[in-house]
Each structure stands twice: as structure tokens, then as C-alpha cells.
Structure 1
């Protein structure tokens, strides 16, 4: 056996130590990647499970909405304390809650247009109500009118700008150019892309707007419209004609079992003196068709927030869109 010189033995030892160090780094990297892969797989499974629980909440809510509507086909009221009440759902792991709201008590962005044989044309009534709502919420009327016009141009199908509106040319010059949709709004968050809508303005509007699948004036159910939603009643009239304070006071006096008839709602001296137009009289309802479901599923570190719009009638009740994540 050939013996190594001391210097050669030192070099061999150094090589071995270097190999051990390299192997240690490879092993550590492999373990880190394995741990990351395991965590990602676990998160993926938890997310899938949370979504399944969210689907289950939608099914439960749809069944209860059908029962609510079937209870009294003539009117939907607050009976049963269903509106806005957080319901805890039993699930095997974690927690889940669901809250149902009246999905029609909002300004329908798609009321800015009317459906004329699959062509969407500007609606003056919808624009006026959008302006009234913005003014009630503290947005200057000179700012509100161009926003209403631009939002109408966003949803109508022609390429011609309304006075103070905005079509293709208004967006091509942006730092990041884009074009208006030229179709009805699919989600209220689209309004952020409309010319003139700043983050501050959108923040004021977010809780008051919706994007219903019907291009018609907002179907306000005055049996479920809460006093704190008085701006929605005030928006039915020109700016300044019905103050939010007066609207809130009137809604607070609603009969406990609902109005029973629209004649009873409109015959009060406070509203009769305002001379509501026929379109306004027609959009006010005693029943609800759309319901907004908010869900939250928590499992360990995972929290999944969901939102779904449910159509309650005609039966069966069904989801027409859903979204997950932080609300826009």
C-alpha cells in the first residue's frame, strides 16, 4: 500500500470536507424545497376544501332563499330576521359563516343602459339616478355628471361619446392604454376603470353599487330597504328633492309586516308631493329577486372570503356569479 505524503493527506482531507459541505448544501436545499412543496400542497388542499365549504354555503343559502320567497309570493319582508344576520355553518374543521343581503337594494350600474334587441343604448333615467346618488354621497354634481356619462359610454354598445362622456379616444392616451368594454358591467369593480372615477370616489360608491344582469332601473324593495340605505331612496329623485334625512325618517316608519301594497308606500304626503315619475314608480318593488351572499371560511392560517349573487326567482334559486378574495 502506497503511503501519502503529509501534504497530500491534507489535500485529500480538504477534498473530502469540501464534498461533505457540498452534499450538506444540496441536502439542505432539497429539504427546503420538500418542505415548501409540502406546504404548498397543504395550502392547495386547504383552499380546495374551503371552496367546497363555500359551495355548500351557497346551496344552503339558495334553499333558504327559495323558502323565503315561497313563504309570501306577494312581498319579501324582514320577517325571520334573515337580512344581514351572520349564520355560523357547521363544518368538520375550522369555522364558516354566511350572511345574506338583498342584492337588489343598490344602484344597478347596468341601469345606465337599456336593452334594445341586444343593443345597449344610453338611459337618461339611469344616468340621472346615478348622479343623484353621487350627490347624496357627497360628490360634487359637476364631477358626478361626467362620471355618469362616461360610465354609460362604458356600458353602451355604440362608439359615439355622450356629452361629457368617454369612448375609445379618452382611454388610448392613458399611461397604460385600454378601451371601454362597450357592454354591460359584469362586476361593480369595473367602474374603477371608467374615466373620472378616482380611488376616493370609488371608495364612496363601492357599498352602494352593483352590476345586476338586467339592464333596467334598480329594483329597490322598499320592504327590505334599511333606514341607513336612505341614499338609495333619495336617488330616485333629482338632486336635493328628497334629503337623506327625510328618506331615512320615512323608511324608519315602515310597518313591521311590510307595506303590503305599493299604493300604501306612495300615498304618504312626503312622497306624493315629490310627484315620482312612472319609471320610478315601476322600479320600486315589494319583493326581492336578487340576493348577495357573503361567506368566510377559516381553516388554520387560511381565510377564504367569498361573494356570490343568487337569483331567487323563478325557482330554483341559483348562483349567477361568484368571486373569492378580498372584496374590490
Structure 2
């Protein structure tokens, strides 16, 4: 056998070292992917478990809402200190809280239309109320009416734009073209897609709007409407007709056990003087039918925030939609 030259031995050693380096990289990559896979699997399991706890919270909330509604069929009041109060829910690992609020005390975006023969038609009353709300929140009335007309056109069934509004043609010219929904709003965040709804306008509205599953005027329960929600009471009247100070003070002096009668609510001189229309008088309620449950589940490193819409009537109470997102 011919002895190897020093240069050949050096080349062989270099090849071995190169092979070892490649194997090390492969091993490191494999271990990293294994760790990532294990992490994703653990996160997936944690997410699934957190959602199960959310379902449990929903079941508890549904039972308690049924009890609340059954307690007094004539009116839903703040009795029991249930509104917005976070309740701790015992779970084996981590923590969970749930808080319910009256989901009817908001401006229902779907009140911008009414249903007739299976079609959605623009509602003048719904548009007037959203305009009043925007004005109360500090938006110029002319700007508000343009935005509101576009918001109604988004949900109505036809393709004919309302005055000062747009339908599909107004959205095809966008940088990323899209079309109007021509159906009920599924979630209040959908309003951001409507032409004219700037980030500033949406920021004003986001705490006051909702998307109830029915195209009905916002069913405000004056037994649970809080003084800080005075803009919702003011929106029932034309812009500027009811000032916020009046609305806030009237809600603040509500009887502790509720009004008991809508006649009692509307008979107050400061309210009667505003001459509410019969349609508005019929919209105001003493009972609540829609409830929004907010849950937060902390499980390991995961913190899951959930929202569930619960409808109480017709019985039994039930969840009609839910959404989840990671709590920041």
C-alpha cells in the first residue's frame, strides 16, 4: 500500500470535519423543529382546553340568565348586581372569569334595515338614530348622514344607492376592490369596511354599536341602561333634541327596583316634553333578551379572551355566536 501524502491526509480530515459539521447542522435543525412541533402541540392542546373552559362558562351563564329572566317576567333589573361584574370560575389549572352585560343596550347596526318579504330595506328610523348617536359623540351631522347612508346600503338587499351613498360601484374602485355585503351585519367590526367610516369615526362608535341577529330597532332596557350610557338614550331623538346632561340625570334617578311600567318612564315631564314617536316608545323595553358574555381563560402561557352572544327568548336561552382571541 502506498503511503498517503500529507496533502491527501489533510483533505480526508477536512472532508470528515465537513461531514461532521453538516451532521451537526442537520441534528440541530431536527431538534429545533422537534421543539417547535412540541411547542405547537402543547399550544394546540392548551387552546383546546381553554375553549372547553369557555364552553363551561357559557353553560353556567345560560343557566343564570334563564334564572334572571324567570325571576320577573315583567322586567329585567340590576337586582343581583349581575351587570358587568366579573365572576371567577374554578378550573383545575389556571383561572377563568366571566362577566355578562345587557347586549341590547347599544345601537344595533342591523336596525339600519327592516325585513319585508325576505328582503332587507333601508330603515329611515334606524338611520336617524345612528345619525343622532354620531352627532352626540361629536361628528358633524352632514358627515354623519353620509356615513349612515353608506352603512344602510351595506346591509340592504338592493344595489341602488341611497342619496349621498354608494353601492358596489363605490367599492370596485378601491385599491383592493370588494363589494357590499347586502345582508345583515355579522359583527360590529364589519362597519370598518363601509365607505366613509374612517378609523376616527369607528373609534367613536365601537363602544356603542352591536350587531344583533335581528333587524330590529335597538331594544334599550331602561332598567339596565347606565347613566354613562346616556348617548344611547339621546339617540332616540333627533340630533340636539335631548342633551346628554338631561339623559344622564334622568337615568341616574331611576327607581332602584326598576320602572315597573313604561308609562311611568315616559310620563316624566322632561321626557314627555320631547314628544317621542310611537315607534320609539315601542322600542324601549323593561326586559332584556340579548346578553353578551365576556370570558378570560388563563391556561399555562395562554390567555384566551372570548365573547358569546346569548339570546334568552324564546326559551331555552342559547348561544347564537361566539368569538375568541388572544388576550394581550
1:273-312 pair list within 5 angstroms? 273-312=273-312
Q: For structure 1, which runs of at least 5 residues remain unmatched after alignment? A: none
Q: TM-score, structure 2 length as denominator?
A: 0.98
Output the CA distance in 2 between the equivalents of 1:9 and 1:215: 85
The superposition leaves residues 147-181 of structure 1 with CA deviations (integer Å, 9 ceiling, x where unpaired) of: 11111111110111111121011111111111111
User: Is structure 2 residue 215 aligned with structure 1 residue 215?
Assistant: yes
In the TM superposition, residue 300 of structure 1 has moved relative to its aligned partner by 2.4
Corresponding position of 2:317: 317
Output the CA distance in 2 between the equivalents of 1:6 and 1:186: 77
The superposition leaves residues 129-160 of structure 1 with CA deviations (integer Å, 9 ceiling, x where unpaired) of: 00000000111101100111111111110111
* Partner secondary structure for residue 241 of structure 1: coil
* Partner secondary structure for residue 31 of structure 1: helix
Native 8 Å contact 2:76 2:223 kept in 1? yes
* Partner secondary structure for residue 75 of structure 1: coil
Corresponding position of 2:249: 249
* Partner secondary structure for residue 206 of structure 2: helix
Moved over 6 A (4+): none
Corresponding position of 1:107: 107
Corresponding position of 1:72: 72
In the TM superposition, residue 315 of structure 1 has moved relative to its aligned partner by 1.4
Corresponding position of 1:235: 235
Corresponding position of 1:96: 96
Corresponding position of 2:165: 165
Output the CA distance in 1 between the equivalents of 2:144 and 2:219: 22
Q: For structure 2, which runs of at least 5 residues remain unmatched after alignment? A: none
1:139-150 pair list within 5 angstroms? 139-150=139-150
The superposition leaves residues 85-143 of structure 1 with CA deviations (integer Å, 9 ceiling, x where unpaired) of: 01111111111111100010000011111110211111111000000000001111011
In the TM superposition, residue 16 of structure 1 has moved relative to its aligned partner by 1.3
* C-alpha distance 170-289 of structure 1, shift in aligned 2 (>3 A): same
**Cα RMSD for the two superposed structures:** 1.1
The count of corresponding residues between Structure 1 and Structure 2 is 327
Output the CA distance in 2 between the equivalents of 1:246 and 1:303: 41
* Partner secondary structure for residue 41 of structure 2: helix
Output the CA distance in 2 between the equivalents of 1:11 and 1:135: 82
Corresponding position of 1:49: 49
The superposition leaves residues 181-200 of structure 1 with CA deviations (integer Å, 9 ceiling, x where unpaired) of: 11111111110011110011
Native 8 Å contact 2:102 2:292 kept in 1? yes
